[in-house]
A and B are shown apart, each in its own frame.
Chain A
């Protein structure tokens, strides 16, 4: 199985701050990576797919990038509504695997 190592596990940041979350894949997965945001008691919401493509209706302050087998989600100016838990997901091979999650809070 492909392991997705996500960091940091938790993060506290201020409004308008730039936030970066990363996922390291245990092997090459190409661009087959997505990012999700989950709020308490809700289902995850797709933010980024194919490593860098913004999902429909997602604000442009969210962006994704790739460097080799390391993937990053960047929030350019943190807003109140961006708090929650973020997960990466690889769909390069079965079983699909998620990162362990990053809990993002406001400072």
Chain B
């Protein structure tokens, strides 16, 4: 069955960077987009961008240009998101989610990674 297993919670200092992972299993990793979504505590959902692991193409929400960098490792079926120059506004839960092959909607989600930015 399709599974997206994300890395563990992170406590990081302001100004630093963090790289979180999303390991896919149960499907052909290179054939589906992988999306990343941000959810601040008590808030709604915000789309960060996607990567197509088949060729590494990416598309970002302009709001996250320079903040998020998406990569993928085909050999390990793992997608990554690096967040840089962290501030308290980056404290949030970050989800990876697969884009359905036909509809493009997010059909499977990871469990989420809590990133806390604090000195």
Using CB atoms and an 8 Å cutoff, list the residues of chain B in contact with chain A.
Answer: 35, 44-47, 59, 61-63, 95, 97, 100, 103-107, 109-112
Contacts and interface: CB of A to CB of B under 8 A. Distances in A.
A83 interface: no
A78 to B, nearest CB: 22
A34 interface: yes
Given A49-B105, A91-B105, A43 B112 contact: yes
Contact of A95 (B62, B109, B112): B62
A34 B45 CA distance: 13
5 contacts: A34-B106, A42-B111, A43-B110, A43-B112, A99-B44
A43 B63 CA distance: 22
Contacts of A87: 44-45
Contacts of A89: 45, 105-106
Given A46-B107, A87-B44, A100-B44, A94 B112 contact: no
A97 interface: yes
A94 B105 contact: no
A94 B46 contact: no
Contacts of A46: 105-107
B103 A50 contact: yes
